[in-house]
Chain A
Amino acid sequence: MSRIIDIFEQSLKKSTADQTELVCEKEEFYLTRFAESRIHQNIGRADHTLWCRAVIGKKIGVAKTNILSQESINELVKTAIEICSQQVENPRFTSLVSSPKAQQTEGFYKSTAEYSPLNRAKAVKTIVDIAGQDKLATSGMFQTSTTELVVANSLGTRQQGKVTEAKISITLSDNSDRSGFAQAYSRDIKDIDFRDVANRGVQKASRPNKQVELQPGTYTVILEPEAVADFLLFLGFLGFGGRGMFNHRSFMADKIGSAIMSENVTIAEDPINPVIQYMSFDYEGVPRSKVVIVEKGIAKGVVYDSYYAHLNNVQSTGNALQPDNSYGPYPKAMVMDAGDKSLDEMIASTGRGILITHFWYLNFINPMLTTVTGTTRDGTFLIENGKITAPVTDMRISQSMLEAFNNVEALSKQRRLVPKFGVLMYVPAMKIDNFNFVSLA
Chain B
Amino acid sequence: MRLLLVEDSARLRDLLTESVHKAGWRLDSAATAGAALLATQTVSYDLALVDLGLPDGDGLDLIRELRREGFTAPILVITARGSIEDRVAALDGGADDYLVKPFNHIELLARCRALLRRRAPHYIEAIVVGGLSFDPTNGVVAAGGEPLAVAPRERSVLELLIRNAGRVTPKQLIESKLSEFGDDISTNAVELAISRLRRRLASFDLPISIETIRGIGYLLREKRQNG
A and B: bona fide binding partners: no
